Structure 1
């Protein structure tokens, strides 16, 4: 007997270089697992609207979904509305819409989208009860809490709020087998808690969640273990919740469990941390790094303390600086942070302070910080959306019809929309200029550069530093790529005996890299001596160091080679990223 089939879609407008496909939609994945456990067939697709439509048509021809469910957020509301209406008019299939934006939707959306039901809050139980009512006639529609719909007379029916799920450990684990349109996954996303104890004025969680509900560490780690077994190619685990570090004891427990898991599987992980918590419990940072944390994100938002206070961040600029310093000392490879441009009370003065603050953080921790920017997004029920005047903001386009998050939809008392946009450009340009300066002047330590290449080549984890600084320099890219892929070693990695028998190899084509000035070779703006030029010619990966030393001794007067010290030249060439050493 055919199982009733629900197709769950996360659709997005096409946005250039958007990476929403990078992670699975855990909300839909959990819904699918919950329904599968109860006898339904459920599949999940994530992609742009045109691809989602193609997926639906393929499934319609082959398996005929009984119901379609949409995950609706602030960004994709218009796409969900249009596709829902199309499916209802063309195919007559029932449509259920949930997700974070559902709390903001009502009669107008129901009418425009023609969707059958809106689900607010945790979706597992109400969606199951809707399916039972539609497919099996079980229960009564007006008793399914957390649902909005239009009855046959066009009257809006709200069934009342449903209590939040309290025992998240009872929920089944998401399964890769429920995904459509993906042959393999290379990242594993995990949610260790729902809700947030903080009340940041710009954040959806801060405006809409009342309770922090945490899963047991053992349950989460078991989900990761099963996910790694199901997807052995996965090298990167994402904790997508906002509150991973909120409980210090629990975070320490996670570190122990993840360290044990990494003895069997080779993976690194990401989480979000809160600056105030980490500043109070700095011992967590080296513990997390030791347990395999390769990247963390903390909320920064502004370099001006009154803005952080207005947002209700419960963190200070000094605490953020302290966490940056501690992370750098602990050798965390990547620390991400975001700054709001055109936010609470912003003016030319406050944005200059924020830009200078961000630059100072870079100089404090060269090679570690991944800094990004955003505009104020009027998410439903946030303090900024409900009362923008309190933050000296004006909502120009509350529905974000004019923006793909690439242009502001608010202005401040001091800055117009265009001025806010220009300030974002200035901030980003200053950020990149600082990074380029630190890299070009040699202030980014060698070990940190190597960390970025290791994460990129071995785990698929890239950073702004890797993509726009290190990877753009041909010599740096070639040098560290050879090192981190295991094809070569550097001078300082070799023992004394290994150095004699290693094969030095240039990382560039000599003819293409060289310039000439008055008949003398110039490499990277440095005029080479005859001996340096000759040595570089011999470093082609076919002669070992001792053989090269013998050849040069035969060609040059006695004592000349010793005076120039071949060892010093090999070391200098390696430091300049000109040569690597191939094993015997």
Structure 2
């Protein structure tokens, strides 16, 4: 690590749960704070990643007394990590520790006692953290006068008045590589905030419960930040992640932003992601066209449920019909990847609701024709949301409010009639249904060929690989067929000018499909080929043309083409020169 001294080290650390490396590309909090403090004259850097790696950085700096204060980002998943890190710092290095993040408003006396943390920042952190830096490093002010914090005074929890929200977001400094403890992380992709807050109040959502006041940066400021990043980064795999809770709140503003993005796409291609609200898009469908023209490659929609009863309980302000229509709009506009979740163990959950969600999900996926991905998740009792505070109103029982029995892999709630174990099995079955459906659609030609081929172009970097591509890769017979088409090494029969001169070429080893059924030589994807078809099938080596196969076998042209057409429908042959 390069020689440095830090006034504050900001950390967002999680254990490597389920062998997944936490990269947190869209979690800008600690880096925005770093940028803000650096502008105010303090040396600040942030690191997001695994607990073990973060602790290594922490110890390397603290052993040399190169850090004055540590700030920790706390969310619903990493409370125990933060308790452990706080103890480690207080016992070993005796320096102030400040905790903030979305979970902070739910942290009470017990967290202070278990962790030894000095101060908790509630809600937006920039101005509050600056005052805390002045207090600890410059001996300016008193904790009792700092808005937006919680602390222990005379063994009692003190919660100061909330700080007013920052209204002019354009005045906040931009994140650059100096904000990162590992500067190379800056170049992995641009996460950018164009606004803060959410005007909606979904019953399960923390953000809508706490910061309903929405503030926006100007479009000019956003585009200028993107220009700066594109100038600094010469990668051909640039991915921009808009971190707003929904980018589709103001149609005119979105239109202006998308015009600017489209102009920049003409000079330099990049991919980008945003979240959209179903109802706002349904009301103003022209926004989808704007997103597509600007090169949006992935959009997340708040689907959550397939019944009006549950959507209403969640306060989603949309209907199943609106969801269906918006998925169609995104598909038809050419947005390659659409994502949405279905929540299990949520409002009024029952076997009936579960079956209706499955039916709705299948209908949506089929209609999307290879664009929609649906995740199946269990309800998370996020702090201070209506569902967490009053689960009985939604027909559920929260069994693990503290998130100690789950790492996103096991339900935390149950109902009067469904146990957590039963709900977990339902989640597994739902996911399997989706997996099987996607593969079945690919096998039955329900996804346009051009759409399948487009997935290969983005497959060489992580953000470009969607769930449909990953399912394609699971079935070697399908993958090799489309890869041959993508590489230009083969064509479909419909693309061949003169089929008699084309050379049929199988894309998989024939021996793998040998049939043991009497009278049948091969079976491919459930399609059986008789013993008398074997000679024609063995000649699909690309060495003979269709005309030559006819002559070689003595069969009629019609008979040969009947076999070849069946093989092509099984994604087993392409036509080459």
Provide the TM-score with structure 1 as the length reference. Answer: 0.87
- 1:26 equivalent to 2:28? Answer yes
The 1:553/1:463 distance shift into structure 2, 3 A limit, reads closer
The Cα of 1:137 is off from its aligned counterpart by: 2.3
1:226 aligns with 2:228: yes
Q: How far 1:474 moved relative to its partner?
A: 0.9
Q: Does 1:427 align with 2:430?
A: yes
Indicate yes or no: 2:349 matched with 1:353: no
Q: Which residue of 1 aligns with 2:541?
A: 537
Q: Does structure 2 conserve the Cα–Cα contact (< 8 Å) formed by 1:268 and 1:459?
A: no
Q: Helix, strand or coil for the counterpart of 2:18?
A: coil
Structure 1 residue 162 and structure 2 residue 163: aligned?
yes
Partner of 1:90 in structure 2? Answer: 92
Quickly say closer, same or farther: Cα 1:230–1:352, change in 2 above 3 A: same
Whole-angstrom CA distance in 1 between matches of 2:132 and 2:441: 57
Deviation at 1:248, TM superposition (A): 1.3
Structure 2 CA distance for aligned equivalents of residues 17 and 492 of structure 1? 44
The residue aligned with 2:80 is 78
Distance 1:341 1:201 in 2: 14
The 1:433/1:482 distance shift into structure 2, 3 A limit, reads: closer
User: RMSD of the alignment, in Å?
Assistant: 3.2
Secondary structure of residue in 2 paired with 1:20: coil
Separation in 1, partners of 2:481, 2:558: 28
Quickly say closer, same or farther: Cα 1:254–1:503, change in 2 above 3 A: farther
SS of the aligned residue for 1:344 comes to coil
Distance across 2 between alignment mates of 1:378 and 1:316: 23
Match of 1:543 in 2: none
- Please list the CA deviations of residues 269-309 of structure 1 after superposition, one character each: whole Å capped at 9, or x if unmatched: 11111111111111222331222111111111111211111
Change (3 A) 1:341 1:581: same
Question: Which residues in structure 2 correspond to 1:378-393 (within 5 Å)?
Answer: 378-393=381-396
Q: 1:189 to 1:514 in 2, by over 3 A?
A: farther
What SS does the aligned partner of 2:474 have? Answer: coil
Residues 209, 493 of structure 1: alpha-carbon distance in 2 compared, 3 angstrom cutoff: farther
**Kept in 1: contact 2:503–2:542 (CA 8 A):** no
Contact 1:43 1:179 in 2 (8 A): yes
Q: CA deviation at 1:519?
A: 11
- Name the residue aligned to 1:246: 249
Q: What is the 5 A alignment of 1:146-545?
A: 146-151=148-153, 153-181=154-182, 183-184=184-185, 185-233=187-235, 234-457=237-460, 460-467=463-470, 469-484=471-486, 486=487, 488=489, 490-491=491-492, 507-509=507-509, 522=522, 524=524, 525=527, 527=529, 529=533, 532-533=536-537, 535-539=539-543
- The change in CA–CA distance for 1:495 and 1:410 in structure 2 (over 3 A counts) is closer
Is the contact between residue 22 and residue 187 of structure 1 (CA under 8 Å) also seen in structure 2?
no
For residues 248 and 201 of structure 1, do their structure 2 counterparts lie closer, same or farther at Cα, with a shift above 3 Å needed? same
Cα separation, 2, equivalents of 1:433 and 1:550: 35
Flag structure 1 segments of 5+ consecutive residues without an equivalent.
540-547
Is the alpha carbon distance of 1:439 and 1:400 closer, same or farther for their aligned partners in structure 2, counting shifts above 3 Å?
Answer: same
Aligned counterparts of 1:205 and 1:7: Cα–Cα separation in 2: 26
> Aligned equivalents of 2:501 and 2:239: distance in 1?
37
* Closer/same/farther in 2, CA of residues 501 and 174 from structure 1, 3 Å limit: farther
Q: Compute the displacement of 1:423 (Å).
A: 2.4
Cα separation, 2, equivalents of 1:42 and 1:315: 43
Secondary structure at 2:71 match in 1 = strand
Q: Following the alignment from structure 2 to structure 1, what is the Cα–Cα distance between the partners of residues 35 and 306? A: 43
* Secondary structure of residue in 2 paired with 1:39: coil
1:114-160 deviation digits (Å, cap 9, x = unpaired): 11111111111111221122222233433221122224x43433332
Q: CA contact under 8 A between 1:507 and 1:578: conserved in structure 2?
A: yes
Q: Is the 8 A contact 1:3 1:40 kept in 2?
A: no
Deviation of 1:472 (Å): 0.9
61-70 or 168-177, which deviates more: 61-70
Moved more, 27-36 or 406-415: 406-415
Task: Give the drift of 1:490.
Answer: 3.4
Return closer, same or farther for 1:413/1:554 CA change in 2, 3 Å cut-off: closer
Aligned equivalents of 1:138, 1:503: Cα separation in 2: 82
Give the direction of change, closer, same or farther, for the CA distance of 1:150–1:376 in structure 2 (3 Å limit).
same
8 Å CA contact retained: 2:274, 2:299: yes
Structure 2 residue aligned with 1:544: none
Q: Kindly tell me: are residues 459 and 77 of structure 1, through their superposed partners in 2, closer, same or farther at Cα, counting changes over 3 Å? A: closer
Name the residue aligned to 2:117. 115
Deviations 1:101-124 (CA, angstroms, capped at 9, x unpaired): 111113221222111111111111
Equivalences for 1:547-558 in 2 at 5 Å?
549=545, 552=548, 556=552
Q: How many residues align?
A: 569
Note if contact 2:490-2:575 (Cα within 8 Å) is conserved in structure 1.
Answer: yes
Q: Retained in 2: the 8 A contact 1:343–1:412?
A: no
How many Å separate the matches in 2 of 1:187 and 1:572? 45
**What SS does structure 2 have at the residue aligned with 1:279?**
helix
How far 1:312 moved relative to its partner? 0.8
Deviation at 1:417, TM superposition (A): 2.5
Q: Is the Cα contact below 8 Å between 1:193 and 1:215 reproduced in 2?
A: yes
Q: Distance in 2 between matches of 1:181 and 1:482?
A: 40
* Separation (CA, whole Å) in 1 of partners of 2:358 and 2:324: 14
1:537 & 1:157 partners in 2: Cα distance? 78
User: Which runs of no fewer than 5 residues in structure 2 stay unpaired?
Assistant: none
Judge conservation of contact 1:370–1:464 (CA < 8 Å) in 2: yes
